[in-house]
Amino acid sequence: MSELKSIIEALIFASPEPVTMKALMKLLESEPKEEIESAIAALKQDYERPGGLQLVEVAGGYQIVTKQEFHEWVRRLFHERTTQKLSVAALETLAVIAYRQPVTSPEIADVRGVNTAGVLGTLVDRKLIKIVGRKAVVGRPFMYGTTREFLERFGLNDITDLPKVEDMSELLGFDLPAGVAEPAPQTALPFDALGGDETEPIH
Amino acid sequence: MSELKSIIEALIFASPEPVTMKALMKLLESEPKEEIESAIAALKQDYERPGGLQLVEVAGGYQIVTKQEFHEWVRRLFHERTTQKLSVAALETLAVIAYRQPVTSPEIADVRGVNTAGVLGTLVDRKLIKIVGRKAVVGRPFMYGTTREFLERFGLNDITDLPKVEDMSELLGFDLPAGVAEPAPQTALPFDALGGDETEPIH
Amino acid sequence: MAEPRQLEFESIIGDLPVHLQNFDGPLDLLLHLIKKQELDIYDIPIALITRQYLEYLELMTELNLDTVGDFLVMAATLIHIKSRTLLPRPDPAQDDAEEDPREALIRRLLEHQKFKAAAELLHEKEIARSAQWQRPDTVVNDVVGSAPEPEVEVDLFSLMAAFRQVLERAKQRPKVMLPPEQIPIETRITQLLERLSETDACGFEDLFEDVQTRSGMVVTFLALLEMIRLKLIRVFQQASFGAIRVYKRAQVDGAPTFQGMTHE
């Protein structure tokens, strides 16, 4: 029965786990076991055709997966995925740099509450941030700032064009926790840090 | 070329989101565009066969999903749907944004007759809309537009895929006489607002 | 037996349009009134509709609904339109640019209606789409080996939202208490001596007037103890729990000297 085969295919495709015969019998309770079995046999045969997918038996159930021979392509898909998007950690780091620049790695880690050294490399590779100088403190850490590409990407004329935290709360209808929007030294949004005197520009 | 078709099928299957032509061209850089296009055409035809799965075009890309007609069967696999429902207010606000984008909060409130700030927050949180720029008027209010997630959720390929006004007469229960349905600057439904000159696009 | 009570309640609002929560704003309510009476949207009997609208508004006010505000503006508009219909029409030859408020209202109603319909069509699309099931992510984990890191689209909003997220998280973290800038005791002694030189004696509390922080108070107190030891001041209390007064002392021979004093 062709419709039964199609239903089983849809079920196997959509199930987060391999679908066992037992599960199928429960889901298709009005169908006799033999009918289900022969539908599965027919489906298996369907998947013998050339194509990118295969029907495998795993953990006592059935599952549709890509064929082994294409694994390299699939792997590549996940590698390439990172051109348009950023991980949450990278985006947060970028946000801190955008609003607080110039800022050092320890300072970013301090605001985010986690170490972000690895992410900085990604952002530099993507040309969204660059090293803008060194801070005149112990260890002379690099200071990071956003690039021209960053401005272009976000459609900003210059960095003062970034929406303020206050704008966000007003327009999105949520309140910022008290103190955050205030220009306290730890939370200040503005760009007063740009070209501050503790910086040593490179070249 | 049958192998190319298989690779594309594997990629579409494995991708967590619809695979665009652009992404395919990047992944398969050694293949000429025409080859990829004809492979996709052939794959589309393959999916015309009876079965539980279909190849759909959504959010500007291709995706393999189960056929609608088996929805009830598949639903049995899950205890409940994980996607949350949208309220009528959210849906109506979304409609205004979808057809009028880019559009500001006061403009939306004007059409809906109520302030929608709270709903906007919800829609932003659910990634169905996003800020796309600021309007060059007093106060420089944010302009909102729909996201890729919006297209995915509603099964639209792109924004021109939205149901047309003509399809609405039935729902409206009356005909729109000439003059009223005319695309007057303030009342037009279609997509004339996209890229209007008073806007400052963000990307 | 809740039923009779409910009936009673329904009879109160029986001749009123509908359930209150059904309306999302004044345009919604107006559309409902028009539809319910099968009125022609292009030729609304303004007197009738205004009366019904106001009745409804009155009920809302009685029930103390907090959305009344949105509805008041529309009431004003309706009354304005109604009053205009009572006035003699202006000379049609005199074409003034101002739009007829009635036409403006009709336009808004149609517009609103159109988007309600659009929302319905969207909802149909949504239902159709939700009947299409996607491959669950777990299957790909099996293929690729590990779950790819969740990623977000990079745009201005996500950037802002990320920053807000960081700030909120920072807010929730217990603050590291940095030792506040401390005034050295020597400096405080000099300050206090200056203060006492203006008056020969003052109240003990008065010497704390200019400090706000706890640490400032501690420093002031330590400074006072030191000043007593150096015999720079004398402290008197009238009675138990009485006011404490601080007197400046002339320098006493043989007393340890305070290094910070400049006039020595």
| Domains, chain A, with CATH or none | 2-75 (1.10.10.10), 86-172 (1.10.10.10)
Question: In this predicted structure, which of A1-15, A180-194, B67-81 has the lowest mean pLDDT?
Answer: A180-194
The chains found to touch B (3+ Cβ pairs under 8 angstroms) are A, C
- Residue to test with chain B: of A152, A156, A171, most B Cβ within 10 A: A171
Q: Do B15 and A77 touch (CB under 8 A)?
A: yes
3-class DSSP assignment, residue C183: coil
- Residue to test with chain A: of C135, C137, C159, most A Cβ within 10 A: C159
Cis link prior to A201 (omega < 30° from 0)? no
- Highest-scoring range by mean pLDDT, A19-23, A56-60, A194-198, C127-131: A19-23
Q: Do B6 and A77 touch (CB under 8 A)?
A: no
pLDDT for position B4: 95
Average model confidence (pLDDT) across chain C: 73
Quick one: pLDDT band at residue C149, thresholds 50, 70, 90?
low
Residue C161, both tokens: 């939202």
Q: Do C144 and A187 touch (CB under 8 A)?
A: no
Minimum-distance CB partner of B113 among C28, C126, C134: C28
Average confidence (pLDDT) over C173-199: 73
Q: How far apart are CA B52 and CA C80, in angstroms?
A: 61
Buried b or exposed e, range A86-121, using 16+ CB within 10 angstroms: bbebbbbbbbbbbbbbbbbbebbebbbeeebeebbe
Nearest chain B CA: its distance from C120 CA (Å): 8
Q: Which residue has the higher pLDDT, C173 or C5?
A: C173
Q: How far apart are CA B74 and CA A8, in angstroms?
A: 9
- Residue to test with chain B: of A70, A75, A79, most B Cβ within 10 A: A70
Minimum-distance CB partner of B112 among C25, C67, C125: C25
B165's CB contacts (< 8 A; 6+ apart) are B176, B181, B189, B190, C114, C118
DSSP B120: H
Return the residue matching tokens 């159709």.
C128
Concatenate the DSSP letters of all residues of A25-75 into one string: HHHTTTS-HHHHHHHHHHHHHHTTSSSSEEEEEETTEEEEEE-GGGHHHHH
Instruction: Answer whether C27's CB lies under 8 Å from C108's CB.
Output: yes
Minimum-distance CB partner of C163 among A64, A96, A156: A96
The answer to whether the complex's ipTM is over 0.90 is no
pLDDT for position C159: 77
Instruction: Answer whether A13's CB lies under 8 Å from C133's CB.
Output: yes
User: B126 in contact with A at a CB cutoff of 8 Å?
Assistant: no
Return the residue matching tokens 């349009």.
C17
| Selection from C86, C11, B6 nearest residue A68 by Cα | B6
Q: Do B105 and A174 touch (CB under 8 A)?
A: no
Q: How far apart are CA A23 and CA C59, in angstroms?
A: 56
Average confidence (pLDDT) over A70-95: 80
Nearest chain C CA: its distance from B142 CA (Å): 10
* Low-confidence spans in chain B with pLDDT less than 50: 176-203
Q: Do C159 and A95 touch (CB under 8 A)?
A: yes
Q: How far apart are CA C102 and CA A94, in angstroms?
A: 52
Q: Do A168 and C161 touch (CB under 8 A)?
A: yes
Residue C61, both tokens: 């006010």
User: A174 in contact with B at a CB cutoff of 8 Å?
Assistant: yes
Among chain A residues, the shortest Cα distance to B43 is held by A51
Res A155 pLDDT > 80: no
Res A112 pLDDT > 60: yes
Instruction: Answer whether A4's CB lies under 8 Å from A25's CB.
Output: no
Chain A residues lying within 8 Å of C166, measured CB to CB = 92, 95-96, 111-112
pLDDT for position A131: 93
Residue C258, both tokens: 């305070």
Quick one: pLDDT band at residue A21, thresholds 50, 70, 90?
very high
Q: How far apart are CA C103 and CA C73, in angstroms?
A: 17
Chain C residues lying within 8 Å of B67, measured CB to CB = 132
Domain boundaries, chain C: 6-89+97-258
pLDDT for position C181: 57
Q: How far apart are CA B196 and CA C249, in angstroms?
A: 82
Strands B19-20 and B61-66: antiparallel
Quick one: pLDDT band at residue C66, thresholds 50, 70, 90?
low
pLDDT for position A183: 34
Percent of chain A at pLDDT above 90? 37
| Half-sphere CA count of C186, side-chain side, radius 13 A | 6
Nearest chain B CA: its distance from C74 CA (Å): 9
User: B32 in contact with A at a CB cutoff of 8 Å?
Assistant: no
The chains found to touch A (3+ Cβ pairs under 8 angstroms) are B, C
Q: Which residue has the higher pLDDT, C257 or A13?
A: A13
Residue C121, both tokens: 């069509």
Average confidence (pLDDT) over C165-188: 71
C89's CB contacts (< 8 A; 6+ apart) are none
Among chain C residues, the shortest Cα distance to B67 is held by C132
- Residue to test with chain C: of B15, B58, B80, B91, most C Cβ within 10 A: B91
pLDDT for position C7: 36
Res A181 pLDDT > 50: no
Q: What residue type is C147 in one-letter code?
A: A
Residue C142, both tokens: 């099996």
Residue C98, both tokens: 């101002």
Residue A175, both tokens: 């309140």
Question: In this predicted structure, which of B3-12, C8-17, C22-31, C193-202 has the lowest mean pLDDT?
Answer: C8-17
Torsion, Cα B158 B160 B165 B170, to 10 degrees, reads -40
The chains found to touch C (3+ Cβ pairs under 8 angstroms) are A, B
Quick one: pLDDT band at residue A126, thresholds 50, 70, 90?
confident
